[in-house]
Structure 1
Amino acid sequence: MGDKKRYHVERSVLHEADLGGTSSQSMDEVRRLLSTARRKVRCSRSAAKSMLLQFLPILRWLPRYPVKEWLLGDIISGLSVGILQLPQGLAYALLAGVPPVFGLYSSFFPVFVYSFFGKSRHISAGTFAVISIMIGSVTESLVPNENFMLPGNETLVNTTARDKARVELAAAMSLLVGLFQVILGLVQFGFVVTYLSEPLIRGYTTAATIHVTVSQLKHIFGLPGASQKSQPLSLIYSLFSLCRRIHLTNIGTLVVSLIALVCLFAVKEVNQRCRSKMPLPFPIELVVLIISTGISYGVNLHEGFGVAIVGDIPTGMIAPTVPKVNLLANIVGNAFAIAMVGYAVMISLAKMFAMKNNYKVDSNQNALLKTVFICTTPNAGLLNYLHIS
């Protein structure tokens, strides 16, 4: 038999009076805890005002807005951004693989909402080329042209059905991206900006410019569009594909593109050299858009020379609709990648401008604004909202 361990337990004997005292001490502790909890959750008038100003920064800066010093410059800036957003929104919607009018929706709603809730004074939340390309790669891979070929003709595509399917996909992706960014804001993911240095942002911007340029080459040469899958070295594959099909170049499209590029670069250089003498840069983007539209209509470039046109752009706003939930499972990975890219770029640029101009921005609130964009943008109008123009 092994040694048995012996235990000795002592408990004090409580009389009725002692037991009542212990109970009263416990009740006092509970009351103290409840009192502390009430103080923590109590919302005074000053706390409510501070919270409101934190969520709606426009209520803080608008009453103190220096009209004489800033109004003229802000009007000029607004006109410049608006003129640029018109052709840019149309182009970025085409990059995303959806009808051009959705680029106009994306150019309007984010800027309008950000003016109430945003804290950065120098960024314009709207269409962004890299995000448009990322969305375009998803729409072209999941909703390819091959699925909408007309029966009996393998060269014609039912563009109406294809565009409808792509808009539904882009709307579902926008909803999912917005939810991811709301979560990033709630978990205070803004600390990531600490690791995003200015050289990193400049390198990212340069790489994005190269990707956008390569993606537009097929439109400049008027080559038939081919579905481009998102994969490693896709940029190199795109250049190889362009070189293989260069003999299919549409001369009319190439001439129009070269003339437009020459005009844009020439006037941009003049604006840069004469910016101190000009109150407003010459809106060459809008002028080129108007003139080219008039020439295309008058000469009938589409029918006579095969130059592709944007087509009909409906007026007004469409009614909001709920995206198809059954599409979310197919795009969750792409949506998370887009959310991360948009989040990082937006807060890094906002921080960079804030540091240069000596003010602060709340990175996490910028992410939470995506909830507002989801609720205010009709249908897939927010497909490109994530980013800075």
Structure 2
Amino acid sequence: MQVRDNDSQKFRQQTSEYPQRAVNAIRTKCSPKRIGRGIISLFPILHWLPRYNFQRSFFGDLSGGLTMAVFALPQGIAMAAVTGVDPVYGIYTAIFPTFFYIIFGNSKHNSLGGLAILSLMTKSAIDQVTIAQAKPFNETMVYRNFTDMENGTDIVMTDDVLFVNTSFDSDTNETIQAITMERWTDGFRPVKPIHVATTIMFLSGVIQILMAIFKLDFFACYFCEHVMSGFVVGGCVHVFFAQLQHILGIQIKQQTGAGYLYYTVKELMSHIHETKLQTLAMSTCSMAFLLFGKEVLAPWLAKVFIYPVPFEFILVVISITATRFADLSTRHSISVVGFIPTDFPPPSLPRFDLIPSIFLNTLSISVFAMVIHLTVARIVERRYEYKISNTMELYSLGFVEVFSSFFPVFPVTSGSARSILGAAFKGSTQITSLFSALGLVAVIFYIAPTLEYLPKCVLASMVVVSLKAMFDKMMELRQLWPMFKTDLIIWLVSLSATILIDMSQGLILAIVFALFTTILRNQCPRWHILSKSGEEQSGTFRETKKKDLGAIEGHCCVFRMDGPLIFTSTRRFTKSVNMCIKKFEKRKGFVAMEDICKWDDRAPRERCSLVIDCSGFPYVDYLGLTTLKTTYSDYTSIGVHTVFASPKVELLKMFEQTDFHKTIPIGAVFPSVEQAVLACENQRKRLTACISTVTTMTDIDDEKNK
């Protein structure tokens, strides 16, 4: 009675301690010191800027930053063209995210900017939203003498006027004007492409911050290399056909929705006869110049010059000069980028009312940007040998996108070429990005009017040539076939889904398919019959091919399944064990004739022994453990001596902490396959000796009876 009272008192004491422990834990984790360290960790600039070595790093960062600005200028304008927004927004996108990443970024070499596939995903979302939101209707109003008869005010011609029909009423001698005007549904706010882009960027940043808070950076591992490689190649196909109209100089109707690439190609084919030869010639010359420069001249010039040659910038200068002084835009109808403002826009709030319309697209864009950013971070980490935290990089990317969304920019991510480029130009810190942004600011203030003459076909040519490196990923197929068939199927499904359906939906479908193959491989793992050759002295058991089953010596069938024994694979395990024993005993059926003659019908036929090698189980769940017990009971009941070998530490704990040994004796579990096989052979020898003794005694009794 006293013992029970003591136990109750201890229980009440422990129960009363739990709230106090929780309070102490909260106080420890929420102390002002830890909160301060957590806030400071979100601003890495506070850590590295006070330690900046001006004498050693400044001039390298300055030269690297200004050179990066030369490369970033044409790339930013080209990405704006892919996104479907004004060219100046591409320059803004190369400035604001770069500036904010200087404050929030953890990497010294990472650089943010536009990406062709990411920009096209944004454009697809923009097209869907603008078409869904834009619901105009035409309204025709009749006026006499071009005057509103009700209020007596003159009608002012505006851009909303579509057309005017004029007629004369002979009875009243009045001129009647039937004016058709474009009206919008009540409460509708016209949506501009940049409004959608900034809202996508804001929501994408929020998603990435939430993923960082809940430590979901591991989600990037589900975007395996084959999923992303197939998606990138499929995205390049979308980007190529999106730029083809600018290369040919034709206008086509924008398509949206699943399978829109098919309708885009159909639209291009129907307007192919409208191709402007002058635009096509300029596009061809631009692509030839870039390919020749990058593939032929660049390796040779790298031996002469310290810095890479910016062929895109040279092409921009040449094309602007030719278009302006030869008046190509007027004489040959070559489309140019047009007016570029020379000032900075004030910050403004994103269009939060668009969030329901863009959420699914933004989710795909956010995850894709995260995966690319973390992948580049790993490349930088290996190349420059310093640690980068995935969680902190997610915070950085999220904060950059949230703060940048208050300016007219579109979604960004890291680029391996941009990140390595800064270091190649002797840049060693994020001050390189600062000088790059300041260089682009100077471009807006002083050079922007000159960029008005930049042909759109030249930008499209730059985008198409940049896709070459991504199309090179198709060469990875040689490594996948024929050894990695499942990975090849994942690659092809990712490519096909991206091309045939849509980029956002195709990416989601590819991830789902990759996860399905993982589940399927866990559900149907491979199994092996292990054997040890008589010539080997090492004592190790290895997998046996089907053609070598006849050479296995002994009466022990060693079975191993390489995969988790869980609820999805227990059926496979049971069937595999049954098939394994049948194949093993079928091999035993081929005995010599003299052995058959010696067979005694009165002795029961001996079955093989079964050794289940548990080293192939990464983990076992409750149903898997139950299956092991059922297997032991079923095969023991039909004369198959069954034992288990090489269980992992976690599986041994599971055996001890459950009722496993109520069904299976401790002596049936061995630490190694060799010990299990030896025990089975000894058991068989004892059984054979018993059978021989029984047979001998039976023969003696028969002789006595005679």
TM bracket (short chain) = 0.7 to 0.9
Equivalent residue, structure 2, for 1:243:
269
Contact 1:118 1:366 in 2 (8 A): yes
Change (3 A) 1:24 1:319: same
Name the CA distance, whole Å, in 1 between partners of 2:383 and 2:265: 38
1:382 to 383, 400, 409: 409
Q: Which amino acid aligns with 1:313?
A: I
1:151 to 151, 162, 181: 162
Name the CA distance, whole Å, in 1 between partners of 2:215 and 2:18: 34
- What are the Cα deviations for residues 38-79 of structure 1, in whole angstroms up to 9, with x where unaligned? 3442233xx567546532333444455566776565445433
Instruction: Give the alignment's TM-score, normalised by structure 1.
Output: 0.79
SS at structure 2 position matched to 1:152: strand
In the alignment, is residue 212 of structure 1 matched against residue 239 of structure 2? Answer: yes
Name the CA distance, whole Å, in 1 between partners of 2:316 and 2:70: 10
* Structure with a larger share of its residues in helix: 1
2:30 to 30, 36, 41: 41
Greater Cα shift, 98-107 or 242-251: 242-251
Q: Which amino acid aligns with 1:342?
A: A
Contact 2:199 2:355 in 1 (8 A): yes
User: What are the residue-to-residue correspondences of 1:228-377 with 2, within 5 Å?
Assistant: 228-232=255-259, 234-269=260-295, 270-369=297-396, 370-377=398-405
Greater Cα shift, 360-369 or 193-202: 193-202
Change (3 A) 1:352 1:199: farther
Name the CA distance, whole Å, in 1 between partners of 2:211 and 2:89: 26
Name the CA distance, whole Å, in 1 between partners of 2:360 and 2:13: 57
Name the CA distance, whole Å, in 2 between partners of 1:149 and 1:137: 27
Q: Which amino acid aligns with 2:402?
A: I
User: What are the residue-to-residue correspondences of 1:23-62 with 2, within 5 Å?
Assistant: 34=23, 37-44=26-33, 47=34, 50-51=37-38, 54-62=41-49
Contact 1:211 1:235 in 2 (8 A): yes
Contact 1:92 1:103 in 2 (8 A): yes
1:111 to 90, 94, 98: 98
SS at structure 2 position matched to 1:143: helix
Contact 1:95 1:133 in 2 (8 A): yes
Name the CA distance, whole Å, in 2 between partners of 1:146 and 1:73: 54
Contact 2:197 2:411 in 1 (8 A): no
Equivalent residue, structure 2, for 1:7:
none
- Report the Cα offset of residue 132 of structure 1: 0.9
What's the % identity of the aligned pairs? Answer: 26
SS at structure 2 position matched to 1:384: coil
Equivalent residue, structure 1, for 2:701:
none
Greater Cα shift, 26-35 or 98-107: 26-35
Equivalent residue, structure 1, for 2:72:
85
- Report the Cα offset of residue 305 of structure 1: 1.1
- Report the Cα offset of residue 146 of structure 1: 9.8
Name the CA distance, whole Å, in 1 between partners of 2:72 and 2:135: 32
Q: Which amino acid aligns with 1:293?
A: I
Residues matched between the structures, number? 360
Name the CA distance, whole Å, in 1 between partners of 2:90 and 2:25: 52
- Report the Cα offset of residue 182 of structure 1: 1.7
Name the CA distance, whole Å, in 2 between partners of 1:29 and 1:308: 73
User: What are the residue-to-residue correspondences of 1:124-143 with 2, within 5 Å?
Assistant: 124-143=111-130
SS at structure 2 position matched to 1:151: strand
Structure 1: state its 5+ residue gaps: 1-10, 13-22
2:195 to 161, 168, 171: 168
Greater Cα shift, 197-206 or 240-249: 197-206
- Report the Cα offset of residue 105 of structure 1: 0.9
Name the CA distance, whole Å, in 2 between partners of 1:31 and 1:143: 56
Name the CA distance, whole Å, in 2 between partners of 1:95 and 1:177: 19
- Report the Cα offset of residue 205 of structure 1: 4.1
Change (3 A) 1:311 1:116: same
CA RMSD of aligned residues (A): 3.5
2:253 to 226, 240, 250: 226
Contact 2:79 2:115 in 1 (8 A): yes
Change (3 A) 1:34 1:167: closer
Change (3 A) 1:215 1:150: farther
- Report the Cα offset of residue 181 of structure 1: 1.8
Contact 1:76 1:280 in 2 (8 A): no
Name the CA distance, whole Å, in 1 between partners of 2:19 and 2:207: 40
Q: Which amino acid aligns with 1:141?
A: Q
- Report the Cα offset of residue 108 of structure 1: 0.6
SS at structure 1 position matched to 2:163: coil
Contact 1:132 1:384 in 2 (8 A): yes
- What are the Cα deviations for residues 215-239 of structure 1, in whole angstroms up to 9, with x where unaligned? 211111111032121424x445433
Name the CA distance, whole Å, in 1 between partners of 2:311 and 2:86: 24
Contact 2:238 2:261 in 1 (8 A): yes
- Report the Cα offset of residue 318 of structure 1: 0.6
Q: Which amino acid aligns with 1:151?
A: L
Contact 1:99 1:163 in 2 (8 A): no
Change (3 A) 1:132 1:309: same
1:99 to 75, 86, 100: 86
- Report the Cα offset of residue 195 of structure 1: 4.2
Name the CA distance, whole Å, in 1 between partners of 2:220 and 2:382: 12
* Structure with a larger share of its residues in strand: 2
Name the CA distance, whole Å, in 1 between partners of 2:221 and 2:56: 33
Name the CA distance, whole Å, in 1 between partners of 2:13 and 2:312: 79
- Report the Cα offset of residue 308 of structure 1: 0.8
- Report the Cα offset of residue 202 of structure 1: 4.9
- Report the Cα offset of residue 378 of structure 1: 4.0
Contact 1:201 1:345 in 2 (8 A): no
Q: Which amino acid aligns with 2:337?
A: V
Name the CA distance, whole Å, in 1 between partners of 2:190 and 2:341: 14
